[in-house]
Amino acid sequence: MKRREAIQQLGWGLSGGILMPSLLGACGPKAPGPEIVFSGKVAIIGAGAAGLYVADILNSKGIKVIIFEARDQVGGRVRSLRNQRVEIYPYAPQLGSDFPIELGAQTIIGNDSIFGRIFKDYNLPTTEFPPTGNRFVIDNQAKSESEWTAGNDADFRAAMDFRTGVRNFVGSSQTVQQAVPAAIQARAYGMLNGQIGNAYGSSNDMIGMGGVAEQETLRQNDGKIIGLKANPLQDILISRFSAIQSFVQLNTPIASIGYGSDPIIITAKDGTKFEANKVVVTVPVSILKNGGLSFTPALPGDFAGSLAKFGMSASLRLILEFKKNFWGDTAGYILGSSNVPEYFSAGLGRSQFNRTLSITVNGNKADQYAALGDDALISAVLTDIDAIYSGQGSQFIRKNLQTLKNIFIRQDWSKEDYILGGYSYPLPGAKNDDRKAISRPVVDKLFFAGEATDITGQAGMLNGALASAERAALEVIAAIKKA
């Protein structure tokens, strides 16, 4: 039976928390009881998309859950500006954008994906960002695919063909950059980095071509890029998983998990100890790699070997507003400048004004930018925009009228203690089997979810986090039933 069929048969989804009538009937004359009888408790580490969804599924089956979250709010790398404190983002009240501003995930891939279905079930107004809106930067000129094609630019064509053909690549030891054909000149490297390296969480010279190719082959959805018109993503997580919010213990970073004993002993950073019978770990790979969460006994050797094959680069989000849209009312993503691989016209299809750029920089460039003060960072980005749009970035940037300071929102994900980067990417040599190795249950007590453990080709993405949650929940249920 395929995983999705199994999930449907198990009867969760939007009915989470509500017992199905058929199950009530199956209980006979006795009072209704939980679908799965388990006297123990499942602890979930991390209240991002994956942790919340695992908890929701298990709770809907009648299994007791507790979720430990290091931060003071749920959502993880889904963080909407509206839900944040002004002390941290002082310019937030001065923003004029009339749509939700996202500091992390801002779109989903797949109308028919797990998250896409949540959008539909909740009747949320969405907008699609079509590929025709993309602009590609070569020689500091930003043009659409049809404009470059009309101009017969050979490097553009070859680069686009390479991008489209990534899924057909065979082999796993090269970086994306090493796999770029020699015939493509350096002038097109930026647009390739914007579309592949940066999109996958780092840069073309870091990411493994084989791992990316395999992910693209495995992914099964309609590929449409969808954004919410009016609702912050973090609100959707809170609302969809409202049934388990009361089981989330905030401000509780976990330092170690002793799973050699029964019950398992979970020790928080402040020394407080908790007990559980099974644990689902959903923390980012960066936390697992740097020992921010330790395990006794140590995780199996194949786990550690496969974990080493994934990276998590620095990641920066910068929101800038302008007095006028000089990049074009129909432009969506502007990909390929050598300094700023992705500009996203975040108001497209959802703003009356459409004058906001949401900038995402991953990889070494993000490390460099993270070291800059605010003024130096904005100046570097404006220099980049000015080179493409003839000085209009500096000319039209919105400033506070009293202080004449630029209005901006900045989020350095590598500086977040419990995230430490953007999202997981395959290093050269990494395969989907390595994702399977870091997702495999350990002695039916320890389970793994989170974007990096997705094995459906959606790692690094919100839908990957949710797919991993479905997998991990099934594994926990199977282990309970086996006992």
Q: Which residues bind ligand FAD (CB under 6 A)?
A: 45-51, 68-71, 76-78, 104-108, 253-254, 282-284, 287, 292-293, 315, 317, 360, 413, 418-419, 422-423, 450-451, 460-463, 465
For the bound state, the minimum distance from the C-beta of residue 175 to ligand FAD, rounded and expressed in Å, comes to 21
For the bound state, the minimum distance from the C-beta of residue 420 to ligand FAD, rounded and expressed in Å, comes to 9
Nearer to ligand FAD, 35 or 416 (CB): 416
For the bound state, the minimum distance from the C-beta of residue 153 to ligand FAD, rounded and expressed in Å, comes to 28
Give the span between the Cα atoms of 305 and 135, in whole angstroms: 39
Nearer to ligand FAD, 147 or 275 (CB): 275
Instruction: Give the amino acid at 355.
Output: R
Nearer to ligand FAD, 46 or 311 (CB): 46
For the bound state, the minimum distance from the C-beta of residue 209 to ligand FAD, rounded and expressed in Å, comes to 21
- Gyration radius of the chain's alpha carbons: 23
For the bound state, the minimum distance from the C-beta of residue 197 to ligand FAD, rounded and expressed in Å, comes to 14
Nearer to ligand FAD, 22 or 246 (CB): 246
For the bound state, the minimum distance from the C-beta of residue 424 to ligand FAD, rounded and expressed in Å, comes to 8
For the bound state, the minimum distance from the C-beta of residue 109 to ligand FAD, rounded and expressed in Å, comes to 6
Nearer to ligand FAD, 210 or 253 (CB): 253
Which of 121, 213, 211, 208 minimizes the C-alpha distance to 163? 213
Nearer to ligand FAD, 36 or 380 (CB): 380
Nearer to ligand FAD, 172 or 313 (CB): 313
Nearer to ligand FAD, 84 or 140 (CB): 84
For the bound state, the minimum distance from the C-beta of residue 370 to ligand FAD, rounded and expressed in Å, comes to 12
Instruction: Name the pairing type of β-strands 333-335 and 342-345.
Output: antiparallel
For the bound state, the minimum distance from the C-beta of residue 185 to ligand FAD, rounded and expressed in Å, comes to 30
Nearer to ligand FAD, 59 or 392 (CB): 59
SS (H, E, C) the chain: CCHHHHHHHHCCCCCCCCCCHHHHHHCCCCCCCCCCCCCCEEEEECCEHHHHHHHHHHHHCCCEEEEECCCCCCECCCCEHHHCCCCCCCCHHHCCCCCCCECCCCCEECCCCHHHHHHHHCCCCEEECCHHHCEEEECCEEECHHHHHHCCCHHHHHHHHHHHCHHHCCCCCCEHHHHCCCCCCHHHHHHHHHHHHCCCCCCCCCCEHHHHHHHHHHCCCCCCEEEECCCCHHHHHHHHCHHHHHHEECCCCEEEEECCCCCEEEEECCCCEEEECEEEECCCHHHHHCCCCEEECCCCHHHHHHHCCEEECCEEEEEEEECCCCCCCCCCEEECCCCCCEEEECCCCCCCCCCEEEEEEECHHHHHHHCCCHHHHHHHHHHHHHHHCCCHHHHHECECCCCCCECEEEEEHHHCCCCCCCCEEECCCCCHHHHHHCCCCECCCEEECCHHHCCCCCCCCHHHHHHHHHHHHHHHHHHHHHC
Nearer to ligand FAD, 130 or 151 (CB): 130
For the bound state, the minimum distance from the C-beta of residue 203 to ligand FAD, rounded and expressed in Å, comes to 14
